[in-house]
Structure 1
Amino acid sequence: MQNNDPIERFFRSGLKLPHLRILVSLAELGQVTRVAAAFHVTQPAISKQIAEIEDALGVPVVNRVGNALELTGIGQVIVACGREVLRQIELARRDVSALASGTGGHVRVGAVVTIPEPLVANSVQLFIRRAPSASLSFAEATLDRLIKMLDDGDLDLALGRNRIPATQTTLRQEIVHREPFVFVVGAHHPLGDPDRQVTWADLRASRWITPMHGSPAYATLIETLGANDIAVGGGAVESSALALNIALIRSGDFVSILPMSIARPHVMRGGMCVLPLPPLEPLGEIVAYWRGDSSLPAAQLFYACLREVAGELMHDQTGAAGLDGS
């Protein structure tokens, strides 16, 4: 019991926020010199803080390996908990700042590339109109990267195309919009002939543009094609760059998949055709993800704007049926 007394005293009265910040930075940077540079202090000042932590605890939190420092098991426990403490403090700071200035503060939003532009753009415009003192940042990335950013506290809200099994995440998620995710070709592609009755068999010799390997969209596409005895063969392109994909599709050589809202303008201008095949239902959903402990008023307002805009887009879709050839 006596050996635990210094530890109990440390966590009751000796632990300070600078201790947590230094250990978390050390875990990320690996060297005292880098931590000192990040905090704009001298190397001895950082070493002194680490020594204070170890003296107070009575146990080492780092091991010195050459010029680098490695966290001990105890150090790793403190860092893991420290990251969450610092994240909660940052959330509290943002909440207090937002409350003090009305609906203000800063909200960070991310989305995969296939989220319809009107959904994001109209939501941003509505948010800015309702909270003129707030600011917003937007990032576009793959779903796995967005989820990591949410987990790390670098995003407040993300938009993707796949629901994540509850056993694989602690994030909250909700479907905010639905639209067909359809098969498309360029207007000059042989399968783009409006008089042709396209079947799955017609796609077996096609060149494909697919989502990136390992992404949920890629898995959904490959599973659907496999169920219809279609394999993505040579000459395929894996790409998450929407502008590139559209350019390649319009060139007439490829078959690919797009959300109907993205394909529609190109169909109406005569540069693209939607094939009369069943849409990919699992990709037709747009899902919002956020941390369950997020309470930033600005983020909550943006989510409300997102749902409102999604409802308007859903209503507009009823007037655009028929482009899918059905």
Structure 2
Amino acid sequence: MSAIHESIERFFRSGLKLPHLRILVSLADLGQVTRVASAFHVTQPAISKQIAEIEHALGVPVVNRSGNSVELTGIGQVIVACGRDVLRHIEMARRDVSALASGTGGHVRLGAVVTIPEPLTVNAVQLFLRRAPNASLSFVEATLDRLIKQLEDGDLDVALGRNRVNSMQTQLKQETLHREPFVFVAGAHHPLGAPERALDWHDLNACRWITPLHGSPAYATLIETLTAHDLALAAGSVESSSLALNLALLQGGEFLSILPLSVARQHAMRGTMRVLPLPPLEPLGEVVAYWRADATLPAAQLFVACLREASNEALGE
């Protein structure tokens, strides 16, 4: 084994430290030693010394210097890419240990509209139950107006919806977790469902639709979009707030509809649905969490934190 390979083996076996990873990841993000030093509240020579220690231990350079800026070498980029995952898992462990040490218990009542992406809800619930094994959780699906009413009446602790509510008329807190567009979809057996078929708005003429419930913002946005392209709902269209029913009808091949991109993509990958090559409905893309402004239940606060983390994970942040 060459001297360089021996140095690399030794570095990863016993020389690599968490501060090394934190510094290299920060260098990748900030690009200058002075900025990294400021972020870590240390002097520039201290950061330069750490970089020199890494390169000496490895036996190969991890950065190229150009004036005040630094650029990662290919080796440095590999360490940073893996280091991000390591630091993320360490942070997750810290959160889990902190939650377990606090002994969080209680019962969280969660509600959501049907179009919230399933992975977001599932991942948040799994995070919560792992960090608060002494707590329990209940879950309901309903329209947003009913969820808001239940929150205001104290029958729910946290809710997930697709629209911000008027903060002047409610004592709820609300936070946008992430944004994703709604897209037009057809089942694989629909005449428009062939993946190789080109498409224009006029091809949607006389098609039967599954729409959100009349009076909802999603319904209004869909109708406005269709009207703008001289289209109207055909006879035999269906209004539904049931995602299970909508998916079953779509897969039957007779209807078009709109779905959140994350939901549509799952079914498109399975070959049961096609995302139509039409502009998405951007205004419907928010996923919003709501909770009572006077809520002090630690379990509910922890669940909101888990929602944020699950949302960031879904976005790859």
Give the TM-score category using the shorter length. Answer: 0.5 to 0.7
Shift of 1:221: 1.5
- Does the aligned pair in 1 maintain the 2:116–2:160 contact within 8 Å? yes
d(CA) in 1 for partners of 2:199, 2:165:
33
Q: Normalised by the size of structure 2, how large is the TM-score?
A: 0.65
Superimposed CA distance per residue, residues 132-165 of structure 1 (whole angstroms, 9 cap, x where no aligned partner):
1111111111111101001101011100011123
Mapping for residues 1-326 of structure 1, pairs under 5 Å = 102-315=103-316
Identity of aligned residues (%): 72
- RMSD of Structure 2 on Structure 1 (CA): 1.6
Unaligned runs of 5+ in 2: 1-101
Deviation at 1:185, TM superposition (A): 0.2
- Tell me, yes or no, if the aligned pair for 1:162 and 1:282 is still in contact at 8 Å: no
Q: Match of 2:43?
A: none
Partner letter of residue 260 of structure 1?
L
* 1:79-108 CA-partner distances (Å, limit 9, x unpaired): xxxxxxxxxxxxxxxxxxxxxx83111111
Measure the CA separation in 2 of the matches of 1:106 and 1:194.
46
Task: Name the SS of the counterpart of 1:134 in structure 2.
Answer: strand
CA contact (8 A) 2:181 2:283 kept: no
Deviation, 1:296, is: 1.1
User: How far did residue 219 of structure 1 move?
Assistant: 1.8
Q: Please give the alpha-carbon distance, in whole angstroms, between the structure 1 residues aligned to 2:119 and 2:196.
A: 32
Instruction: Write the distance in 1 (CA, Å) between the matches of 2:305 and 2:272.
Output: 35
Counterpart secondary structure, 2:183: strand
Aligned residues: 216
> SS of the counterpart of 1:191?
coil
SS in 2 for 1:197: coil
Amino acid at match of 2:145: D
Q: 1:93 corresponds to which residue?
A: none
